[in-house]
Structure 1
Amino acid sequence: MFSEEAFKIFEQSIEKYHVLDKVDQPLINPYPIGEIEHLLFRKNWIDTVQWHFEDLIRDPDIEPVKALELKRKIDASNQERTDLVEYIDSYFLQKYAEVDIKETATINTESPAWAIDRLSILALKIYHMKEETERTDASEEHLNTCTNKLRTLQEQKKDLSTAIDQLLADIESGKKYMKVYKQMKMYNDEELNPVLRGQKQG
């Protein structure tokens, strides 16, 4: 199933990141450019780096200049994440372009790639929650709480994976159809963000 293979790639990305566990390490993608596996690995790598950016920026003692620098890195990461989601959706649009869509076909509330985006984040939650269950310096209460949360995350993974695979099957059979709206983010656009527009005019 697609979701199972995608999750394995997400786990591979997360494990590879944590070998060095540094946000500034280079991305070395083991999959060929143009393949869906390449996009999935890169997508999760972005999510993993951003996960750790978010940890760093929450340091109560962080210097304001460093915090601003991190905030801008997070903004750039969010844009790259959105771009990757759209690339993944483009893959599915092309893959199912010749499907005979049934007259009774319906549209889903989210595209396949945005559901896959949630699966990527879920892989990170599972990885880090599992780490919490294995801490030797934590209280028994903390370990029990995290173990219960991990069970819930695993159940969520099962449900989300089933939903993704069912959505792809329905698209492939013509029961559902894809209609992707490009993310019209305004804050990075010089023509749409009044602050950037003002700087441009000045």
Structure 2
Amino acid sequence: MNFSETAWKVFNQSIEDYHVLDNVETIPSNPFSEGSLERILYAKNWIDTVQWHLEDIIRDENINPLEALQLKRAIDASNQKRTDLVEFIDGWFLDQYKNIDPKAEAKINTETPAWAVDRLSILALKIFHMDLEANRESATEQHRIACQAKLDVLLSQKSDLSTSIDQLLKDIENGDVKMKVYKQMKMYNDESLNPILYQKEKK
């Protein structure tokens, strides 16, 4: 089984496990062994799945403003965890390929392996929920047909993205692509960089 197949299997297990209770407060029970890549991928997708549902909840037009603010902060915190874990996964890849000497003509990819994996994780969620809509009995036939058409596109995208990820990893292993990682350096959560936060401290 190649990497993308492994990741896809883990992502879908995480999604299925979450939907047993379908509750954003559920504490995950990661089934994979400590230190394994599968455990990291499961944790990554669980964060994405919870955030997917937080984004649904906050769009309720009748939501209490205070609850909406709390949800917005939960989403911000989730985004930071997501970024941190993506960078952790890139660190895992860097360690895996630390003994690879890139060729002199090696290219640099537009995104790192972990950010491509991040897109695959989100895509797994899109496919899961679009499949639900394409088969929802309470929906109109027109709705189900439209969702099936979208699902077909998502499945094609999954195939292409999976192939691209595996090709990227192979190119890194062969020295044809140089793996280079930049930290995201998000500023809005940093009290020393966000002017709203550091100006507040002066008052």
Q: How does the TM-score come out when normalised to structure 2?
A: 0.98
* Structure 1 position 4 matched with structure 2 position 5: yes
* Secondary structure of 1:78 counterpart: helix
Deviation at 1:199, TM superposition (A): 2.6
* Structure 1 position 199 matched with structure 2 position 200: yes
* Structure 1 position 43 matched with structure 2 position 44: yes
- Say how many residue pairs are matched: 202
Deviation at 1:200, TM superposition (A): 2.5
* Structure 1 position 155 matched with structure 2 position 156: yes
Deviation at 1:102, TM superposition (A): 0.6
CA distance in 2, matches of 1:27, 1:194: 36
Partner of 1:115: 116
Deviations 1:22-55 (A, max 9, x none): 0001021111232111110000000000000000
Partner of 2:144: 143
CA distance in 1, matches of 2:201, 2:84: 24
Which residue type is aligned with residue 172 of structure 2? I
Q: Which runs of 5+ in 2 are unaligned?
A: none
* Structure 1 position 72 matched with structure 2 position 73: yes
Percent identical residues = 61
Partner of 2:106: 105
Q: Which runs of 5+ in 1 are unaligned?
A: none
Structure 1 residue runs of 4+, over 4 Å off? none
CA distance in 2, matches of 1:56, 1:182: 30
* Structure 1 position 89 matched with structure 2 position 99: no
CA distance in 2, matches of 1:34, 1:201: 43
CA distance in 2, matches of 1:98, 1:35: 20
Partner of 1:183: 184
CA distance in 2, matches of 1:100, 1:183: 25
Partner of 1:30: 31
* Secondary structure of 2:25 counterpart: coil
Partner of 2:18: 17
CA distance in 1, matches of 2:91, 2:34: 15
Which residue type is aligned with residue 104 of structure 1? E
CA distance in 1, matches of 2:155, 2:39: 25
Which residue type is aligned with residue 32 of structure 1? S
Partner of 2:169: 168
